[in-house]
Structure 1
Amino acid sequence: MSASNVSLLRETSRQVVAGGSAGLMEICLMHPLDVVKTRLQVQRSKMDAHNYKSLGDCFRMIFQKEGLFGFYKGIIPPILAETPKRAVKFSTFEQYKKLLGYVSLSPGLTFAIAGLGSGLTEAVVVNPFEVVKVGLQVNQHTFTEQPSTFAYARQIIKKEGWGLQGLNKGFTATLGRHGIFNMAYFGFYHNVKNIIPACKDPTLEFLRKFGIGFLSGTIGSIFNIPFDVAKSRIQGPQPVPGEIKYRKCLKTMATVYQEEGILALYRGLLPKVMRLGPGGAVMLLVYEHVNVWLQKNW
């Protein structure tokens, strides 16, 4: 193997390890907000007695009925997926950025397009895990009463198979969700970080990067949440058992808009921002620090 190939392999390995570390840290800290977001997104009628009245009510009801572990339902699929998912997210972003360097594009556009490419690639890896995660998150039984992650995955495969109606349902919505988020997330972060001067003081520099990362995650969340709502509707339980109402991404968004109004497409935005604002900052900072440490020590 040539020296250049060894160097490329080592660089990619560092990106994989740093990305996996960033993802694992983010999911462990922020998963409870993902559970709350999913519960709010799958609600359809405010008249339903089982519905949550607000963000606070959702937190309270989950804790009262399902206990503390209720906030960690569906955490195994994202933990299992986080290392490859975030590794793909960050390493493909870096590789797409390199490839786009051969094209005459502005740096700002390069960051955004590389982010879009990384998001689409990430979606391919993560979608089966998302199907299992959403199914477990919307299950309102206690933690001990619901099926295990692997039992639920086997149940989906047995009943619906591996395809777009089974373990890969909601695939186009996942493509939209991750593609748009990463385009805004990486595009905003790297463009703004290059505009705002770095601080000599380590604390101020940390706050500068954290603030930009927080805004990056927030903006990405605002742009992609209609796709997130569609994904939750498609991958979650259907309104009438045995009858599939939500099947295709754009049609699902149109149905939600027609039946429930425009605000329904932004349901769960607050917990999503509460998660992916600080979570987005955590991921970028952990990735950068781990990557720098690996460059010095490996």
Structure 2
Amino acid sequence: MAEEEYDYESLGENTTMTQNAFAGALAGIAEHCAMYPVDSIKTRMQVIQTASATSPTTLALNQPMVRTASRNLWRGVNSVVMGAGPAHALHFATYEFCKEYYGANRQGHHPLASAAAGATATFAHDTLMNPFDVIKQRMQLKDSTFRSVRECARMVFAKEGFSAFYISLPTTLAMSVPFQSLQFATYEYFRKVLNPNGGYDPTTHVIAGGLAGAIASSMTTPLDVVKTLLQTRGQSQDARIRGATGFMDGFTIIKERYGLRGFFRGFKPRVLTHMPSAAISWSVYEYFKWLMRPTSHQGNLLPL
């Protein structure tokens, strides 16, 4: 009878930390790479131009950008690959540990426990990933002249110092903690609703992941706009933006220049990025967890 009650939902406590980390690393790389061009467009839409620029809310959609060679939209992807692997490995390994520790694996719905596990994992992930994200966004800019991740990192460090890689971390955490808490809690909720038996089901992971990504990204876009301003400030021609020292400076600049609408710059491409990328990430992660499942329970899992 105990064998029959075993289901896929309890895999987090049966797979090792190394297996969870490996599955998370592959999920992170797949997630970021698949939607990278759309993320580049989102970054360009969010970047604030000089005060003399016209139509600031649509600058990133003008003809020169549309005609930009597709390869430019992939510029900086190496930084994501280098950072996303270890950062997501740490993220998912921490999440699985905390999900069990906080009691999210118990029977029924436990959104607060799932959210708390996601928030804890986010602190570890963002601390490791933030420098790579800064480099990525600098290289994503339309007028970026950096030819490699190494060159970008060296120039940013030489011109702005080590703090440039972490000036946006408080804002990143202020965005990522609610984002990941919402995403993990929403994902776990829809996963259990769509698949109460708890068996491995790719369709469930795709739908639950997509819904979680869409909801979380929609609600945290304003903080993402501030984060982008801080991470790209060194490339700006605007002296005030270059001198921004943190969240409140970034918030004030956006509010004064564009009002409340300014906090939703890049909203559509952000949602269009996170909805499929979350579906991809969770699907890849759950697949590799299923692949590395304990063989003694193989017969109790749904077939691939």
> Does the TM-score normalized on the shorter chain lie above 0.5?
yes
Residues 1:244 and 2:247 are matched in the alignment: no
One-letter amino acid matched to 1:41: Q
- Kept after mapping to 2: 8 A contact 1:14/1:295: no
1:112 maps to which residue?
115
Q: 2:208 aligns with which of 204, 207, 212?
A: 212
- Kept after mapping to 2: 8 A contact 1:32/1:71: yes
Deviating more after overlay: 34-43 vs 244-253: 244-253
> C-alpha offsets along residues 154-203 of structure 1, whole Å, 9 cap, x if unaligned?
1111222222xx2222111111222121101001010222123458999x
CA distance in 2, matches of 1:215, 1:149: 33
2:38 maps to which residue?
33
Taking structure 1 as the reference length, the TM-score comes to 0.83
The number of residue pairs the alignment matches comes to 281
1:294 to 1:9, Cα distance in 2 relative to 1, 3 A: closer
- Kept after mapping to 1: 8 A contact 2:172/2:227: yes
2:4 maps to which residue?
none
> C-alpha offsets along residues 76-119 of structure 1, whole Å, 9 cap, x if unaligned?
111101111211221111112122239x9x72210011111111
Gaps of 5+ in 1: 1-6
Give the percent of matched residue pairs that are identical in Structure 1 and Structure 2: 22
Q: 1:170 aligns with which of 168, 171, 176?
A: 168
Q: SS of the residue aligned with 1:140?
A: coil
Q: 1:230 aligns with which of 223, 226, 230?
A: 226
Residues 1:92 and 2:99 are matched in the alignment: no
One-letter amino acid matched to 1:225: T
Alignment of 1:28-177 (within 5 A): 28-44=33-49, 48=53, 53=58, 57=61, 61-65=64-68, 67-101=69-103, 107-140=110-143, 145-163=145-163, 166-177=164-175
Cα distance, 1:295 vs structure 2:
2.1
Cα distance, 1:210 vs structure 2:
1.6
Cα distance, 1:294 vs structure 2:
1.5
CA distance in 2, matches of 1:93, 1:84: 14
2:288 maps to which residue?
290
- Kept after mapping to 1: 8 A contact 2:91/2:124: yes
- Kept after mapping to 2: 8 A contact 1:19/1:287: yes
Q: SS of the residue aligned with 1:53?
A: helix
One-letter amino acid matched to 1:272: R
Cα distance, 1:258 vs structure 2:
3.4
Cα distance, 1:257 vs structure 2:
2.1
Once superposed, what is the RMSD of the aligned Cα atoms? 3.1
- Kept after mapping to 1: 8 A contact 2:21/2:92: yes
CA distance in 2, matches of 1:46, 1:242: 10
- Kept after mapping to 2: 8 A contact 1:62/1:71: no
Q: 2:194 aligns with which of 196, 208, 222?
A: 196
Cα distance, 1:29 vs structure 2:
1.1
Cα distance, 1:254 vs structure 2:
3.6
